Amino acid sequence: MSYEKLAKDILKNVGGEANVNSVVHCTTRLRFKLKDESKANTDILKNMDGVVTVVKSGGQYQVVVGNQVPEVYDALVKGSGLDGDGIVPDNDGEKMKPLDAFIDMISGIFAPALGVLAATGMIKGLVSLLVAFSWVAPTSGTYIILNALGDSFFYFFPIILAYSASKKFHVNPLLAMVIGASLVYPTIVAQLPATLAASGGKVLYTLFAGTIFESPIYMTFLGIPVIMMSYASSVVPIIVSIWFASKVEPFFKKVIPEVVRTFLVPMLTALVVVPITFIFIGPITTWASDIVATGFTAVYTFSPIAAGAVLGGLWQVLVIFGLHWGLVPLALLNISTTGSDPILALMLGTTFAQIGSVLAITIKTKNKKLKGLGYSSFISGIFGVTEPAIYGITLPRKKPFIITCISAAIGGMVLGAFGTKGYMVGGLGVFSIPSYLNPKAGIDMSFYAVLIAIVVSFVLAYILTLMFGLTKEDQEVPVAVVETEVTTSVLPVEVEMSGEILGSPLKGQVLPLSEVKDPVFSSGIMGDGIAILPEIGQLYAPADGKITLVFPTGHAVGMLTDDGAEILMHIGMDTVELEGKYFEIQTEIDTVVKKGDLLLKFDIEGIKQDGYEIITPIIVTNTPKYKKIKPLAKDQSEIIVGADLLDLEINSGGQ
């Protein structure tokens, strides 16, 4: 598949570059913010090869691509006028609903960082396992280096979030990173109350004495007391700080002459934002964060089992609508304030419930296309990427999706009952398991609960899907199945038929369908017919009728004859991969044609030089409506265009 072509087609069908305010991507989705969603061709996008589905949620128009989304995203940015981060200024003046605006902001800030955050979290989890099994000593150089690598991203999270927030709030990225770096500067860290108290630092005075906000003051800024707090691994303070910078920076851009704007704007912005962050923004947001974290902890403590059932059961629904982004910063907040988080732990079972259900469907189905999609979705699901499973398999069938929610809820109850928590943001799927290893207690019962919840969610979803989740269609062999490039029938309409003779659409050598290497054609699943090895690269209409199918790549043409036969003519094998190269389309859908009209030109030698077969099946896709489809030309014989090729004998008594 050409990522460039797919990206170009997606951009065209979301309304073009002029309709895009911004676009970012996560693990499997292109997340567009469009000026006018009504200009997007949703139905075309959903049926586009390479697109799983389309989701509208949280103020975003989300095109689900799958595991290839980074490549498609890069191709989209390179092939458009969007800047290197796929973002253009949001200047359409459209007001978003508060929830949509919040989700849009959170996803825009966190999505670019989560991949590397997960990677470093996985390294930290690996280090924890090495120590737990006594394979590496905590005092060894190996441990020190690997632990620093695993800790670095989260410890310096304010700098990382400053960069991604700068993109969202349109602030100079380097200036934003300087603001973030100031929060974790070593000298600043050395001024923390705990450090100063331990070293005998002098308390100047105490603010808010006798309240929950009581704060000893060790230092001032221009005589203003500074309440020092630890901002390493913090989330909220830097986001609010960069938002504040987005208001300050434009002011200085307006009032400072252009000749000195390059250095005076960032200097003055930093001089305003950093002190205000330390004096006001940091303490206030930290207190607010502590209150929120404490509140959630209280709810979780009240009934961890109920919390597990709710979060485990609803997590997939939140993911579908993009609402899980609202819980991600809360989970990070829990880790930064308390050292652990139960939110992301309670939803662990959802991934394994999905792949359990998908495996049941994949094993039992007789639909080859569904099997292929099922196995690929199962493999990606093992590593935590469940969108192909959700959108391609379980959600369209409804019952399997409900079963996965129930199974994940029970898995969440297991995790809640044993008090399982995450101690870092690690990978997804099986890669997330080390994240639940307590760095102090090591392997304890709460960690074993992770393995129990995975098994319970997986097995329960598998069994329930086998019992209640399979549709009748999933268990039957399709009458006519084509791989992703063609449809089941060229034109699925009822037309009164009579017997008819089809002429040859090509000049070349007649071959039986069994000579075609693609089993979809050679097995007759698509329908009966015949094959021709063409000598001249020109395809003609085999009868009078109307064109019903012309692939954009030009490799296949379908038509409905006046007598009711549905014909598919497919030039070569896998030639869809040529993406139109060597093909010249001479007709279009809904064109009325006569027998012998030119439909297509193609370069035989070019196709062969690129390594593709040119044998061409001519298939009657509504074969079941005929008594017999009889070849009129002998195998291996030469045939000219228009010569009698197939005799379609009608069933006695009509249809």
What whole-number distance in Å separates Cα of residue 247 and Cα of residue 271?
Answer: 14
| Type and span of the H or E element at 509 | strand 508-511
- Which residues, including other chains, have CB under 8 Å from residue 374's CB and lie 6 or more apart? 358, 359, 361, 362, 365, 393
554: left (phi over 0), alpha (psi -120 to 50) or beta: left
| Type and span of the H or E element at 490 | none
- Nearest CA-CA partner of 29 in 321, 393, 315, 327: 321
Catalytic: which of 26, 324, 405, 555? 26
Q: Angle, nearest 10°, between helix axes 348-364 and 445-464? A: 30
Asked if 539 contacts 557 with a C-beta cutoff of 8 angstroms, the reply is yes
- The two tokens of residue 569 are 């003519």
What whole-number distance in Å separates Cα of residue 610 and Cα of residue 243?
Answer: 54
For residue 68, count CB atoms less than 10 angstroms from its CB and return exposed for 0-12, middle for 13-18, buried for 19 or more. middle
Catalytic: which of 25, 324, 555, 570? 570
- The two tokens of residue 26 are 């996560």
Nearest-10 Cα torsion for 178, 180, 186, 191: 120
Handedness of CA 218, 221, 222, 223 (dihedral sign): negative
Active site residue 570: yes
Active site residue 405: no
Pairing of β 219-221 and β 224-226: antiparallel
φ, ψ for residue 369, nearest 5 deg: -65, -45
Amino acid of residue 222: L
Which positions are catalytic? 26, 570
